[in-house]
Amino acid sequence: MTSRATSVRPRPRRGLRRLLAGLTVAALVAALGPTGALPAQAAPTLLSQGRPATASSTENAGTPASAAVDGNTGTRWASAFSDPQWLQVDLGTRATLSSVNLLWEGAYGRAFQLQTSDDGATWTTIYSTTTGTGGTQNLTVTGAGRYVRIYGTARGTGYGYSLWEFQVYGETGGTTPTCGSTNAAQGQPATASSTQDAGLAASNAVDGNTGTRWASAASDPQWLRVDLGSTRTICRVVLTWEAAYARAFQIQTSADGNTWATIYSTTTGAGGTQSLDVTGSGRYLRVYGTARGTAYGYSLWELAVNATGGTTEPPGDTTDPRNPNLGPNTFVFDPSTPTSTIQSRLNSLFTQQEQNQFGPQRYAVLFKPGTYTADVNLGFFTQVAGLGLSPDDVNLNGHVRTEAFWMGGNATQNFWRAAENLSVTLPAGTTVERWAVSQAAPYRRMHLRGAQNQIQLWNGGDGWSSGGLLADTRIDGLVVSGSQQQWYSRNSEFGNGWTGSVWNMVFQGVTGAPPPHFPNPSHTVIAQTPQVREKPFLYIDGTGEYRVFVPALRNNSVGTSWYNKTPAGSSISLSQFYIVQPGTSAATINAALAQGRHLLFTPGVHHVTEPIQVNRADTVVLGLGLATIQADNGSVGMRVGDVDGVKVAGLMFEAGTTNSPVLMEVGPSGSSASHATNPTSLHDVFFRIGGPHVGKATNTLTVNSDNVIGDHMWLWRADHAASGVPTGWTLNTADTGLTVNGDNVTMYGLFVEHYQKYQTLWNGNGGRTYFYQNELPYDPPNQAAWMNGTTRGYAAYKVADSVTSHQAFGLGSYSYFNVNPAVVEERSFEVPINPNVRFTNMVTVSLGGVGTINRVINNAGGTANAAAQQQYLTTYP
């Protein structure tokens, strides 16, 4: 089969392009009256021209989605050569549509639909054909929405889909949204008043399988309830009854699951399949049966709920701070829970998650204050945490550990897990706790009790581990780094000190730290932490109320914020938070933020098609179980305003398959306000480009605001991964990891890896970084593909030539050009020559001698290659 790069197909001649453009003029002339004037009515407006457009794919860089809405019939969008494909335009506001004009190039759609949406996620079809013939199609439509797309299911040629122009006409404002076809109930949590037996559970009625069913006890009344995850405007309910049906029943909705409003009622139900047009809204919907149609109970094969697009009204439900819905993947234990129940749950989670690094499952395991016996062995995307105000409020007799047996002792892929706010007492006769992790695996606000004990960051006899964080943690005994290659410890206390070193060990504000002796051993010691705020966390107060504690800003600090002292900070009731469940639209989330509420994301993957907008000062955004925000359809995941004191913590941002300009932006471009006394801070915030699927984002995290604090972040592009996971230089595309434009930005524990241009680009003045870990992209196919002008490759850490002040301490950059070992990076750190731009303690490594880093910083430092794999430099200039 001929590849697209070498195939040749005829292009329309210039005269044909003029004819295509002229057809829209002819259509206008046909509408004129005898005097050449338009009829006396409002003319539809061309709404799509110049608006943001995205697509499922593009044939190449010269045929972007934007070319179909630029008003130029000489430019076009073209897709990949596969089905289905789509092109979407954001009109910016809701509109009532009257017509859509399609100006096809030679590669047209034979079968396609025109669809509208209010949130970019739930779509309603307003036109459909399987007999498209290409050319110019002027289609009259009836519908409304903010987003409009053409969704192609069958191409008319062997090529992709290609449009010179996609023109959407109508009037802004819009009418009542059309009823969507997506089943909002499917897969959502369901409960019932009773079940006939264990095989006829409530969840069977919302599993999308008409071969499974819910059945109740044989009595009246009975009910089935589904949690839609967010407030929805409900327009249709479809009931697929088994033979045991309801003769009298009501359809009811509720904002909180307690107070119900009836939106449909009948006393003459006949069973079968009932499609009921209704009008109502609520997060919860239930079928409430009062009279059975048979002697048996009530039985439903399926309950389907249709809604009118996304939720744009402010959420009506409030959070009960004593009994919050933390989602089905959050498990909360108290001291009365049987030890066997706790251990069984922990074991089943570990079995599922031990190797599940690219699955969508996310879990949080939370312990209320008290004492427990448990062996917590953490797998991927699992967070274990105590719900006390102090770590010592929850004590586990046992372990909180991470092993690496799944990779034969190699812990270099033990990512994405967390242990927080717990104390651990090891079993009698045991003196070693193992924490064999690499990136994005914080051991934070923990207390390992017993001066005779040690925490081991892995064992050289078992394999390697590669980078991690200890923060706000007390280790009564000894920390043994073993075969851990690099590590950052901040504001912690080591009762019996630290032993071990490989490449880059950094200690900041740590009591019990070893003496500074870089590079042999490679210990960088900074006495104090100049300004930091610890990560906010969920806890339960003495009355049983869930609250979020927000630690105070500390200056020039040493040691933990809590051990033998009262933590400084403020406490917020969970009643002031909106709890975000997977499936909640960004519009709903933004409505909650506009109400002045904070956000708590429950474990899961949260898809958004427009940015989450955090614009209120001091807003807290907290994730449980490494909750993940995936930016779909080329959207931005989150934008934070140029305001004081926003705290974002415990979240992963993931790229979708359509390129996003950036996944997270802190402050709009041009931000200039000072936040020196109340900075925005990011804690355990991680980013992923690719992995479970192809991912694309030009930039990953851009910081425009001043005085921002980063407290442990890993920004990662997938260029090598497990078997079956898509990776490649042209698949997972991402130019830059971190871009800093703001002044006086500080990063503690910064990990940035595998990007295709600069890993980190720092444009602001007064920046500081304490510990930096980087791996360069593994996969440049050749040197020509990885050139920065005439320079071989891109620096791992670039400070712009215009910067006059910058400091960085304890930095490592590593190469492993396994696709082409002949590739060379000219230098890992590139900075302006200025006495106020100072770098301290750097290392470059050619991993296994695969690939070359020519210089450490600018033109200083030795060459890391097969002959000399490690190069150290203590100061520059």
8 A C-beta contact, residue 115 and residue 125: yes
The vertex-144 CA angle with 143 and 149, nearest 5°, equals 85
Residue 22 has pLDDT above 60, yes or no: no
Distance CA 112, CA 99 (A): 16
Residue 607 has pLDDT above 50, yes or no: yes
Percent of the chain with pLDDT over 90: 75
Residue 211 has pLDDT above 90, yes or no: no
**Mean pLDDT, residues 714-733 taken together:** 84
Q: Which two tokens stand for residue 212?
A: 């499974």
Of the candidates 272, 275, 427, 380, the one whose C-alpha atom is nearest the C-alpha of residue 692 is 380
Say which residue the tokens 């989150």 belong to. 638
**Mean pLDDT, residues 790-814 taken together:** 98
**Mean pLDDT, residues 159-167 taken together:** 95
Of the candidates 277, 213, 276, 206, the one whose C-alpha atom is nearest the C-alpha of residue 245 is 213
Strands 299-307 and 222-241: antiparallel
Distance CA 611, CA 99 (A): 29
Of the candidates 101, 141, 109, the one whose C-alpha atom is nearest the C-alpha of residue 124 is 141
Residue 563 has pLDDT above 80, yes or no: yes
Residue 9 has pLDDT above 50, yes or no: no
Amino acid at 713: M
Residue 611 has pLDDT above 50, yes or no: yes
Distance CA 615, CA 15 (A): 51
802 band by pLDDT with thresholds 50, 70 and 90: very high
Burial class (CB within 10 angstroms; exposed 0-12, middle 13-18, buried 19+) of 298: buried
Distant-in-sequence, close-in-space partners of 858: CB < 8 Å, separation ≥ 6: 827, 829, 830, 831, 833, 876
Say which residue the tokens 């000219």 belong to. 826
**Mean pLDDT, residues 533-549 taken together:** 97
How high is the pLDDT of residue 326?
95
| Lowest-confidence region among 291-295, 299-303, 402-406, 679-683 | 402-406
Q: Which two tokens stand for residue 376?
A: 């917590």
The pTM of the whole model exceeds 0.85: no
How high is the pLDDT of residue 141?
83
317 band by pLDDT with thresholds 50, 70 and 90: low
Position with higher pLDDT, 40 vs 452: 452
| Residue pLDDT, tens place only, 276-302 | 988 888 889 999 999 999 999 999 999
Distance CA 107, CA 85 (A): 13
8 A C-beta contact, residue 209 and residue 248: no
Distances (CA, A) of 454 to 240, 379, 390, 424, 448: 60, 21, 21, 12, 8
Distance CA 513, CA 508 (A): 8
SS3 147: strand
**Mean pLDDT, residues 472-499 taken together:** 96
Of the candidates 504, 542, 541, the one whose C-alpha atom is nearest the C-alpha of residue 856 is 504
Residue 30 sits at φ, ψ, to 5 deg, of: -65, -25
- The torsion of the CA quartet 722, 728, 734, 738, rounded to 10 degrees, works out to 40
| Lowest-confidence region among 74-83, 566-575, 587-596 | 587-596
Residue 34 has pLDDT above 50, yes or no: no
Q: Which residues are catalytic?
A: 775
178 band by pLDDT with thresholds 50, 70 and 90: low
Residue 239 sits at φ, ψ, to 5 deg, of: -110, 120
| Residue pLDDT, tens place only, 643-669 | 999 999 999 999 999 999 999 999 999
21 band by pLDDT with thresholds 50, 70 and 90: very low
Amino acid at 140: T
**Mean pLDDT, residues 532-560 taken together:** 97
Distant-in-sequence, close-in-space partners of 82: CB < 8 Å, separation ≥ 6: 57, 160
Handedness of CA 507, 512, 517, 523 (dihedral sign): negative
Of the candidates 844, 829, 843, 832, the one whose C-alpha atom is nearest the C-alpha of residue 796 is 829
How high is the pLDDT of residue 40?
35
Of the candidates 780, 769, 778, 744, the one whose C-alpha atom is nearest the C-alpha of residue 841 is 769
8 A C-beta contact, residue 431 and residue 453: yes
868 band by pLDDT with thresholds 50, 70 and 90: very high
721 band by pLDDT with thresholds 50, 70 and 90: low
**Mean pLDDT, residues 510-537 taken together:** 97
140 band by pLDDT with thresholds 50, 70 and 90: confident
722 band by pLDDT with thresholds 50, 70 and 90: low
How high is the pLDDT of residue 160?
95
| Residue pLDDT, tens place only, 91-111 | 988 888 889 999 999 999 999
309 band by pLDDT with thresholds 50, 70 and 90: low
State the DSSP string of 215-276.
Answer: E--SSSSEEEEEEEEEEEEEEEEEEEE-SS-EEEEEEEEESSSSS-EEEEEES----SEEEE
Residue 13 has pLDDT above 60, yes or no: no
**Mean pLDDT, residues 67-73 taken together:** 94
DSSP 391: G
Cα 98–chain centre separation: 37
8 A C-beta contact, residue 804 and residue 779: no
Taking phi over 0 as left and psi of -120 to 50 as alpha, with beta for the rest, 868 belongs to beta
Percent of the chain with pLDDT over 70: 93
Return the bridge partners of 855, or none: 827
Whether omega before 519 lies within 30 degrees of 0, making that bond cis, reads: yes
Of the candidates 767, 204, 741, 757, the one whose C-alpha atom is nearest the C-alpha of residue 530 is 767
State the DSSP string of 21-80.
Answer: HHHHHHHHHHT--TTS---SSPPPEE-STTS-EEES--SSTTS-GGGGGSS-TT--EE--
Q: Which two tokens stand for residue 712?
A: 């442990």
Count helices and strands (H / E) in the chain: 3, 62
Amino acid at 826: E
Residue 213 sits at φ, ψ, to 5 deg, of: -150, 160
| Residue pLDDT, tens place only, 217-252 | 999 999 999 988 777 888 899 999 999 999 999 999
DSSP 693: S
Residue 751 has pLDDT above 80, yes or no: yes
Distance CA 836, CA 877 (A): 9
Q: Which two tokens stand for residue 253?
A: 């909705």
Mean pLDDT over the full length of the chain? 90
**Mean pLDDT, residues 458-481 taken together:** 90
43 band by pLDDT with thresholds 50, 70 and 90: low
Residue 259 has pLDDT above 50, yes or no: yes
DSSP 860: B
| Residue ranges with strand state E in 105-209 | 109-117, 124-129, 136-155, 162-172, 190-192
How high is the pLDDT of residue 622?
98
Handedness of CA 688, 689, 695, 697 (dihedral sign): positive
| Residue pLDDT, tens place only, 346-358 | 999 999 999 999 9
Residue 311 has pLDDT above 80, yes or no: no
